[in-house]
Amino acid sequence: MTKGSGSDSSMPKNTANMRVVEGSYAVAHAVMCCRPEVISAYPITPQTHIVENLSQMAADGELDSTFLTVDSEFSALSVLVGSTACGGRGYSSTTSQGLALMYEVLYNVSGMRLPIVMTVANRAMGAPLNIWNDHQDSIGARDVGWLQIYVENVQEAVDATLQAYKIAEDPEIRTPIMVCMDGFILTHVYEPVELLDKDKAREFLPDFKPANILDPNNPLTFGAFADPSTYTEFRYQQFVAHQKALEKIDQVARDFQKAFGRYYGGLLDSYYAEDAEVILIAMGSVVGTIKDAIDEMRAEGISVGLIKLRCYRPFPVAALRQALAGAKVIAVVEKDVSIGNEAGLVTDLKAAFYNTDIKAPIIGFAAGLGGRDITLKDVRKIVDKALAAEKGIENEFEFLDLREEIL
């Protein structure tokens, strides 16, 4: 029985750059170490502190980057389309309604194969207006052609930012990527973080030198009109790039471990999952709460484990099939809901297992919507329902901790 590959190795070993800082500052510092030529952003809670810190770094001369404040999130990403197409490394961050306002441009960025990195400080979508954390914003953008990495804690958010550029800018990938971190829970927490060393970051991430850029001396067309005779092939090339990214994400995670000594899994990670009968699967900061609950239940002899899904797009079908092959029942805990169906992750997981020999019952829970707490007691409740599902599924999908008295 083992905790899993990332349970201990994700903790900083070298504390030379250890600081107690806000999560947003730690991410901004990581972006600075990645050396973007252009940062374009529009402030929106709870993302604002990230770009405030970057603006200050640029103003102080600590960051050699053009920092642009624009009139909207749509403009923020549109600016990066032009600057990245001209050969500049680009960065932005957003959340919730801001990500929704970018929607048209998200497709343009991925279709033009521009390797922009964007931090999404996950926040609930309105209406009703809610500024607290869930994953509805980025899950709603799962099909726009961006890679998506979800992080458990601030240290992982820092390290995933550097990894993201390495992945996105690979000549065989050339695909934008969202690093998704839970709003407030991670963006506004103060905790010890090993900040990136600038020199080591430069060694790990070389300068951005794309093969093709907009250049009057060598005219090219980006985002051209495609009629029915060619459009499918553009989409196919994006599809293939995502499949190649599966291996690249794993490789970069291992390369980062060699360079910096920290590892969080590549596509996913496990916690007491190897011999577990009940396996929970989740993304983001709730993973920490689930680990604490598992520790308690394991001490009581309950055979429960966790698969932390780190990469949601591309969806790591083969890795999940391997990791969950021995489960007797699988419970998916996710902070989103697909109105009219179930929720994103549980639906994808069922599809991944449909044509396989894995016949474990799969049940799903929409939890933590709009920032509602997911407690140790809630995790135990999920495990109890999962154990009951071994004998027969009563509900394939349900809202956790639903307050029926106010309906």
Segment 130-145, tens digit of pLDDT: 999 999 999 999 999 9
Mean pLDDT over each residue of the chain, to the nearest integer: 96
Cβ(39)–Cβ(91) below 8 Å: yes
Cα end-to-end distance, the chain, whole Å: 44
How far is it, in rounded angstroms, from Cα 350 to Cα 358? 10
Instruction: Tell me which residue of 80, 75, 136 sits closest to 110, measured CA to CA.
Output: 80
Q: Residue 225's pLDDT band (boundaries 50, 70, 90)?
A: very high
Res. 5: pLDDT tops 80: no
How many C-beta atoms surround the C-beta of residue 128 within 10 A? 7
The owner of tokens 């407030």 is 184
Mean pLDDT of 193-218: 96
Neighbouring CB atoms inside 10 A of 95's CB total: 29
User: How many angstroms separate the CA atoms of 379 and 287, rounded?
Assistant: 11
- Is residue 27 over pLDDT 80? yes
pLDDT exceeding 70 applies to what percent of the chain? 97
CA distance 199 to 196: 9
- Cβ(14)–Cβ(195) under 8 Å? no
Please check whether residue 278 is in contact with residue 305, taking contact to mean a CB–CB distance below 8 angstroms: yes
Total-model pTM: 0.96
Burial class of residue 125 in the structure, from the number of CB atoms within 10 Å of its CB (0-12 exposed, 13-18 middle, 19+ buried): buried
216 neighbors 127 (Cβ within 8 angstroms): no
Is pLDDT of 172 > 80?
yes
